[in-house]
Chain A
């Protein structure tokens, strides 16, 4: 049990990183930001789910998916469909030709609720759908591609194509999906108003806790033999196969886990932001998500979270003042990350942590000296020597 705890925390070093992240997400941001800005931070944190999933999939597994928006979107739509149905009760939609169905359906001359909307009348079924639908979809894509040994660039391009297809499909089927506007005017969940300030705070914390849950799950996976195999497959897939492993099963599994994480992020997005639209599914958001992970560090879950928060913060700041420059800056950022610090912020931290360690030791020595001076002058020399050795 103790070892399991250690694995999830990631030892002493991992515990410090987790504690810092928890302090920022659960204490610093809620205290330092107003409700509007905290809502933005919450939105960024939902993107961090994808960044964490990409650390598993891309950083450790070497499988670059340029289509994580697919799963973010599916999760988001599942949640939004439930919320929309709740917002479309017959009383508040009585001016429609067909009361009781979502407004956009009414505008598109649809007179009864389509069958695939039916399950989203129930919250348990919706939660189940959020967890299962994207995972199943990932399983089908993964099975079709990995069993045929499609990988690398080809896999990236195909996932991107699927993201594009899905966003076009959603835009095209306006009557069933809300089209390009997406699903809007989400109001309550089981009667609880999600637009109120108190709800925003609660959802923000739920969101943060879920993110930590995903980080723990991915730590469990990476610290097992499975994690070791992922690294091995990234470098020498052939060798893993000739050690008696069915490589495709491992890839399918990790792709499904990544899809589920992204989907949870999408569902939390719909809850917090109050709408869902196809603009979070297509090519651009899917690539942006890869950049978040790359900037933060594709080998580090915590780094990926910071990367997501920082890039999005930068995006908000810059696009408020120089909207036309932002895309260039983003492109430049990605290129410089790839060229100059391929392991992202986490890599930079690792590299310079030894220097920080030096400062820490210096402080330790100074403290030891001070306490020693008050207690015993003789022992000072001994501690100095010890400090110098360390």
Chain B
């Protein structure tokens, strides 16, 4: 495939599980500093798409290029090191560690065995943790065990862990699931702030929330793209209303 200016260029991507094509010949481009929302009914292949990008699932055919670097052949940790961060649908944090430790583990220094044995907690690390904790509104809870956080705070913590990695592409799977209205607003603010210098892909069902954050919306249906464009344009699309929004 040819090189492009896009941060993420997915071309002709297919994954088939025993003949069932969860993602079917999909082509998708994400621009620099863009916040893209992917919506679609259950089983449309949204989460599978993120799994494919971050290497959790291997594609059957097609290409995924991140800054013109082919990702399909890389292992998960190599994809992360290339600059792709992924938040899972259910908050995936280390419950038995403190908020501080959760963030520090995600700091991208000392990632090898020896590196981690001789890792030193420098001022730089502490500053960075404090900085991120402030962004995710957890600056007063650094020494608290992560298991004791509320559901919404756990979601933020996971976003914070991704921010520690300074990814150029951030993928969030249903970041506001289980959050209160106030927490949703705060999360929308947070996302709008953090996409200033990176590209973000968000999967979300909450249309109100999508309207607040989306630059561009992609609608998936049965592993294929049904529509793509601004939120208003997509909402008027008859096919989209039929399979998804109409329900």
Report which A residues bind B (CB closer than 8 A).
220-221, 224-226, 228-229, 231-232, 235-236, 238-247, 249-250, 253
Contacts of B85 in A (CB 8 A): 242
Does B118 interact with chain A (Cβ within 8 Å)?
yes
Partner of B105, one of A221, A225, A246, A249: A225
Given contact pairs A220-B117, A225-B104, a sample of 16 additional A-B residue pairs in the complex whose CB atoms are under 8 Å apart: A221-B117, A224-B116, A225-B105, A225-B116, A226-B117, A228-B97, A232-B94, A232-B105, A236-B92, A236-B94, A238-B56, A238-B88, A242-B80, A243-B106, A244-B81, A245-B111
Give the number of A-B contacts (CB < 8 Å): 77
**Contact B165–A243 (Cβ < 8 Å):** yes
**Contact B113–A235 (Cβ < 8 Å):** no
Contacts of A240 in B (CB 8 A): 105
Q: Is the interface of A mostly helix, strand, loop or mixed?
A: helix
Q: Is the interface of B mostly helix, strand, loop or mixed?
A: loop
Alpha-carbon separation in the docked complex, A245 to B110 (Å): 9
Alpha-carbon separation in the docked complex, A330 to B124 (Å): 51
Chain B: interface size category:
20 to 34
Alpha-carbon separation in the docked complex, A250 to B117 (Å): 10
Separation in Å of the A155 CB from the closest CB of chain B? 19
**Contact A246–B119 (Cβ < 8 Å):** no
Q: Which of B94-115 contact A (CB under 8 A)?
A: 94-97, 101, 104-106, 108, 110-113
Contacts of A235 in B (CB 8 A): 94-96
Per-position contact with A for B124-161: 1 when CB-CB < 8 Å, else 0?
00000000000000000000000000000000000001
Alpha-carbon separation in the docked complex, A236 to B99 (Å): 15
Contacts of B161 in A (CB 8 A): 243
Contacts of A247 in B (CB 8 A): 77
**Contact A242–B86 (Cβ < 8 Å):** yes
**Contact A242–B96 (Cβ < 8 Å):** no
Alpha-carbon separation in the docked complex, A239 to B85 (Å): 11
Separation in Å of the A246 CB from the closest CB of chain B? 5
Residue of B at shortest CB range from A254? B113
Alpha-carbon separation in the docked complex, A226 to B88 (Å): 24
Alpha-carbon separation in the docked complex, A229 to B94 (Å): 10
**Contact A241–B76 (Cβ < 8 Å):** yes
Contacts of B116 in A (CB 8 A): 224-226, 229, 250
Residue of B at shortest CB range from A241? B76
**Contact A243–B80 (Cβ < 8 Å):** yes
Contacts of B203 in A (CB 8 A): none
Alpha-carbon separation in the docked complex, A243 to B111 (Å): 9
Contacts of A228 in B (CB 8 A): 97, 101, 104-105
Does B75 interact with chain A (Cβ within 8 Å)?
yes
- What are 22 of the A-B contact pairs (CB < 8 Å)? A224-B116, A224-B118, A225-B110, A225-B116, A226-B116, A226-B119, A228-B97, A229-B116, A231-B94, A231-B96, A231-B97, A232-B97, A235-B95, A238-B88, A238-B92, A239-B92, A242-B76, A242-B92, A243-B165, A249-B113, A250-B113, A253-B113
Separation in Å of the A62 CB from the closest CB of chain B? 11
Contacts of B76 in A (CB 8 A): 241-242
Contacts of B110 in A (CB 8 A): 225
Residue of B at shortest CB range from A220? B117
